[in-house]
Amino acid sequence: MSTPILQAAARILVALLLVFSLFMLVRGHNAPGGGFIGGLIAAAAFALLAMSHGVDAARRALHLPPEMVAGIGVGLALLSGLIAGLAGEAPFTGLWLLLGSDGGGKGLPLSTVLLFDVGVWMVVLGAILTLVLALEEDV
């Protein structure tokens, strides 16, 4: 399956897919997208890499074992929920921070909600890759 054409295309496609995945992740709050969709796209990128360059290449590119990615994702999502809890709100309440705000409501919005979505993104990515890489390896 690993033809030169696929390998060459994969180099570009994987990069594009990953950028697109992050784009979908951060725009999700206001437009179609979000952690779940972003995670699926990123998983597709790594799956493509695994098919074109081999499972080892995909594992190296991921740096961490996929099941650990999923685990960290669960941890981040839990952390985002606990932050609100520690701040005195009900757990999993969204808290917002406008970086560089001049008081007029403008600035770079950072939130525990985004952190939560990053957690979802990692869980989806990690869980799917856990299966895909293990199955590809086993063949």
Partner 1 sequence: MGVASGSPDRAGAVLGWALALAAALACAGFAQLVPSVAAGTAHEMVLPWAERLGVSLAFRLDGLSQVFALLITGFGAVIAVYAGSYLKGHRHLGRFFLYLGLFMIGMLGLVLADDLILMFVFWEVTTVASFLLIGFDHAKPEARRSAWQSLLITGAGGLALLAGLVLLGIAAGTTRISEILAIEGLTAHPLYPAILALVLLGAFTKSAQIPFHIWLPNAMAAPTPVSAYLHSATMVKAGVYLLARLHPALSGTEAWMWSLSLAGGVTMVMAAVLALRQSDLKLALAYTSVMALGSLVMFLGAEATIAIAAAFTFLIVHALYKAALFLTVGSIDHATGTREIARLGGLWRTMPMTAMAGVLAAGSMAGFPPFLGFIGKELKYEGALAIAEEPILLAAAAVLANALMVTLALSILFRVILGRKKPVGPDGPPRAPHESPVALWLGPLALASLGLVFGIAPDLVGATLVQPAVTAVTGAPQVVKLKLWHGVNVPLMMSFATVGIGLLGYIFHGALMRTLQRMPAVADRSWDALLGAIATSFSAISRAVQPGSLRIYLGVSFVVMAVLPLMALVGSGGLSLTMSDELDPVVVGAALLAIAGAILAAAAERRMAALGGLGAVGAGVAMLFVLYGAPDVAITQLMVDVMLIVLVASVMVRLPELRAIGQGRGINAAIAGLMGVAVAALTLAIAPGAVDSAVSADMAAASVPEAKGRNIVNVILVDFRALDTFGEIVVVAAAAIGALALIRMKPRRSPQGARP
The size of the chain, in residues, is 139
Does 26 sit near partner 1 (CB under 8 A)? no
8 A C-beta contact, residue 128 and residue 136: no
CB of 124 to partner 1, least distance (A): 7
111: helix, strand or coil: strand
CB of 9 to partner 1, least distance (A): 16
Over the window 54 to 93, marking each residue x when it contacts partner 1 by CB under 8 A and - when it does not, the resulting string is: ------------xx--xx-xx--xx--x---------xxx
Position 12, amino acid: I
Beta bridge partners of 71: none
Does 109 sit near partner 1 (CB under 8 A)? yes
CA dist., res. 37 & res. 128, Å (int) = 12
Does 20 sit near partner 1 (CB under 8 A)? no
Query: Of 6 and 36, which CB lies nearer to partner 1 in the complex structure?
Result: 36
Does 44 sit near partner 1 (CB under 8 A)? yes
3-state secondary structure 42-69: HHHHHHHHHHHHCHHHHHHHHCCCHHHH
CA dist., res. 14 & res. 82, Å (int) = 34
Residues that bind partner 1 (CB under 8 A): 24, 28-37, 40-41, 43-44, 47, 51, 66-67, 70-71, 73-74, 77-78, 81, 91-94, 96, 109, 111, 113, 116-117, 119-120, 123-124, 126-128, 130-132, 134-136, 138-139
